[in-house]
Amino acid sequence: MNLFEVPSKPNKNVFTRKRWYAIHLQAIVDHQGLFINYDVGYPASVYNAKVFWNSGLYHYRNQLFEDNYLLAGSAYPISLNIIPSFKNPSDSKQTALNKKHSKTHIVVECAFDRLKKRFQLLIELRTKNTKIATDLIETSLILYNLLERDGNEWEESSERVIMYQAVKEAGKIKRQNLMDYVLS
């Protein structure tokens, strides 16, 4: 989760390869798009696998999953309970499995999209205090699950949609004028 400002206690590990200050959020989403487990608070530069190895989920995975498993990205280690996609598929079967695997990831992406639409403060957290940022993320996850379980649909207010469309149209006009000016 991106931070809008430099943290009050800057840590080079909070700086991502994309040159953003950010906090790592690793989450497990079920088939309904609910966040069933998460770890939040690590610096963004920490690898997914390291966050996972230090999580309660990893330490209790055998008890939690028994005969079940989690599908994960290729950055995660394979085990009886964690089934990652193939990093470099070597045949058509592995490639086909990766395609099927990636389709399940859409549920995860949609859950994160809905989370950020409901709680727009998560798009760029505007605090210098990483503890507050972590608390805001965790609170948003909990509220998101409550709203989703109750079936509350996210709807853009008609005012916001109209405003967005007006800004978009104004931007198109400005771009056209700039293009006309530069290319004349």
Encode pLDDT of 5-23 as tens digits: 655 565 555 556 666 677 7
C-alpha 67/C-alpha 32 separation (Å) is: 20
Answer left, alpha or beta for residue 66, where phi above 0 means left and psi between -120 and 50 means alpha: left
Most confidently predicted of 114-123, 124-133, 151-160:
114-123
Confidence class of residue 164 from pLDDT cuts 50, 70 and 90? low
C-alpha 82/C-alpha 64 separation (Å) is: 12
Asked whether 37 and 57 are in contact (CB, 8 A), the reply is: yes
Supply the pTM of this predicted model.
Answer: 0.71
